[in-house]
Amino acid sequence: MRCPFCQNAETQVMETRISEDGDFVRRRRQCGACDKRFTTYERPEVNFPVIVKKDGRRIDYDRTKLLASMNLALRKRPVSTEQVDSAIERIEEKLLNLGVREIASNRLGELVMRELKKLDKVAYVRFASVYRSFEDIDEFKTLVDEVRR
């Protein structure tokens, strides 16, 4: 690991700690040349499938975009941040377990809707109404009736 201050390649690990949730390793290092200390974080590198949009474009999976769309649906709803994070982790786990290099955006949307339905019915209806692009009130009514059952 190169020193960020002097670019020397000789650094020594002084302390290693695993995060509380076990998602990453934090290491305190010291440079052999300038004696300055710095911190590095190690995380496993995972490759999520590329998202194929309806128009054929391919975009990289973006957790922040997924979080933003879920938070929009959950706006002013009684759902904790921890519950949302857990839902996103379940979605990501499913994406990784599929073992595919590409996934259609509608399949990802279905995974999101499934998680939202467990978290909050109103958020589920909000997301579904935008995601499914309802054309009239009858489609919306059908969805609400489905949720009530």
Judge whether 2 lies within some domain: no
pLDDT in tens, 108-135: 999 999 999 999 988 988 888 777 766 7
User: Is the pLDDT assigned to residue 91 strictly greater than 70?
Assistant: yes
Q: Are residues 142 and 69 in the same domain?
A: yes
Distance CA 87, CA 127 (A): 15
Q: Are residues 118 and 63 in the same domain?
A: yes
Q: Are residues 59 and 125 in the same domain?
A: yes
Q: Would you place residue 44 in the very low, low, confident or very high pLDDT band (cuts 50, 70, 90)?
A: confident
Q: How many domains does the chain have?
A: 2
Question: Is residue 69 exposed (0-12), middle (13-18) or buried (19+ Cβ within 10 Å)?
Answer: middle
Taking the model in full, what pTM does it have?
Answer: 0.65
